[in-house]
Amino acid sequence: MQIKINKIFGKAKSLPLDLFLEKVLYDKNFGYYQKKNPFGKKGDFITAPNISNIFCEMIVIWFISFWESLNKPKKINIVELGPGNADFSEILVKTLKSFPQILKSVNIYLYEKSEKLTKFQKKRISSSKVLWIKNFNEIKKGPVIFFGNEFLDALPIKQFKKVNSQIFERHAINVKNKVSFVFKKALKSDINKLKKYQLFKKGGLIEFPEYGFKELNNICSVIRKQNGGALFIDYGYVSENKQNTLQSVYKHKFNDLSKNIGNADITSLVNFDLYRKYFLHKNLFVEKIISQSQFLQKMGILERSKMISHKMDYKRKIDLYSRIQRLISPYMMGETFKVIFAKNKKCKFSLAFK
């Protein structure tokens, strides 16, 4: 059911793009992520953990290696950011059961905004090791490994443009119960933030992840205080883009941003270089940004596939390798998805990034 546009705007005539996106995606009463489970063939999109368990296993092995590199501390925390339909968390819990030493030391936290998805996750995951949190200060003592797959691209962004040395911000407006978009003069406080990251050097459209930076601000302070790092895998770019990367998807098809509001997923490409700069500002060390294909191959995805496909019949082998192909092929997710790893400056761990 299409949501009533008045509900989004309330008494406001217009909303900055990020506030508009926050409402249509996450509002408790009518937000996209609060209404349904959008993952998989029956939903609107398919993510890497939905494609293959081996993707998840590679990440879990990376976590275990990280813990080993820290000299196997007695307490280690793993935080999954935006666990979605819990495909990843399920494999995380299952795989760690084969590694009793880390299993004894680990606390797993799931950080989820959507109440609907939290309920769904709680139905799938039942383990004394797993807790759902709304605030990072609930994390116990010990180093922390944060992980987010397609977390950053689901966070609302702001958009700006420069016209004759004036800066304008994109707003959503309510025109007779239909959504339309306009540019309005930007606030000085926002312009200053953009200047800090030298985003006006070449003109064009500027996308600014204010919400993402707010989330990272808290994550970075935990990493500085407790040691550890944050690994993000997402759909995005490294060199300057200057394009409008907002994308609305409804039932696996591209959709007009102003249509199917509240029923379509809206994401944007992640500006990895901007996030890299943000982490550096926050006094963390950032490894070289690599592609999903590089990451997974360095973690041994092909060797693992060979091992488990050994006893498979032909049909299952084809299915397995077509999934792996989807994850690592440069024509599919392999290059368009990138991986960034930011860590405490004293941390030496760099598996897959060297």
Contact residue for ligand SAM among 18, 32, 54, 82 (CB under 6 A)? 82
Task: Say if CB 329 and CB 291 are below 8 A apart.
Answer: no
259: Cα separation from own chain's centroid: 24
- Residue 151 CB, shortest distance to ligand SAM, in Å, is 5
State the binding string over 119-158 for ligand SAM (x if CB under 6 A, else -).
Answer: ------------------------------xxx--xx---
Q: Applying CB under 6 A, does 219 fall inside the site for ligand SAM?
A: no
DSSP letter string over 190-213? HHHHHHHTTTTTT-SEEEE-HHHH
User: For ligand SAM, which is the closer residue by CB, 149 or 174?
Assistant: 149
Segment interacting with ligand SAM (CB under 6 A) among 107-115, 197-205, 295-303, 323-331 = 107-115
User: For ligand SAM, which is the closer residue by CB, 112 or 169?
Assistant: 112
Segment interacting with ligand SAM (CB under 6 A) among 8-16, 80-88, 164-172, 290-298 = 80-88
Segment interacting with ligand SAM (CB under 6 A) among 108-116, 159-167, 221-229, 314-322 = 108-116
User: For ligand SAM, which is the closer residue by CB, 218 or 325?
Assistant: 218
The rounded distance, in Å, linking the Cα atoms of 205 and 48 is 29
Tell me how many degrees the CA angle 157-333-268 measures, rounded to the nearest 5. 10
Instruction: Outline where DSSP puts E strands in the chain.
Output: 14-16, 76-81, 106-111, 130-133, 144-149, 158-163, 166-175, 178-185, 205-208, 228-237, 247-250, 253-255, 265-267, 270-271, 285-286, 290-291, 337-343
Task: Write down the residue that tokens 């937000």 correspond to.
Answer: 31
- Residue 236 CB, shortest distance to ligand SAM, in Å, is 13
Start-to-end CA distance of the chain, whole Å, equals 49
Contact residue for ligand SAM among 95, 114, 263, 305 (CB under 6 A)? 114
Q: What ranges in 4-86 are assigned the alpha helix state H?
A: 5-9, 17-26, 32-35, 48-51, 53-69
The rounded distance, in Å, linking the Cα atoms of 79 and 296 is 20
Token code pair at residue 157: 């962004």
- Residue 232 CB, shortest distance to ligand SAM, in Å, is 10
State the binding string over 26-65 for ligand SAM (x if CB under 6 A, else -).
Answer: -------x-----x-------x-xx---------------
Contact residue for ligand SAM among 92, 102, 110, 117 (CB under 6 A)? 117
The site for ligand SAM (CB under 6 A) is made up of 33, 39, 47, 49-50, 82-84, 111-114, 117, 149-151, 154-155, 215
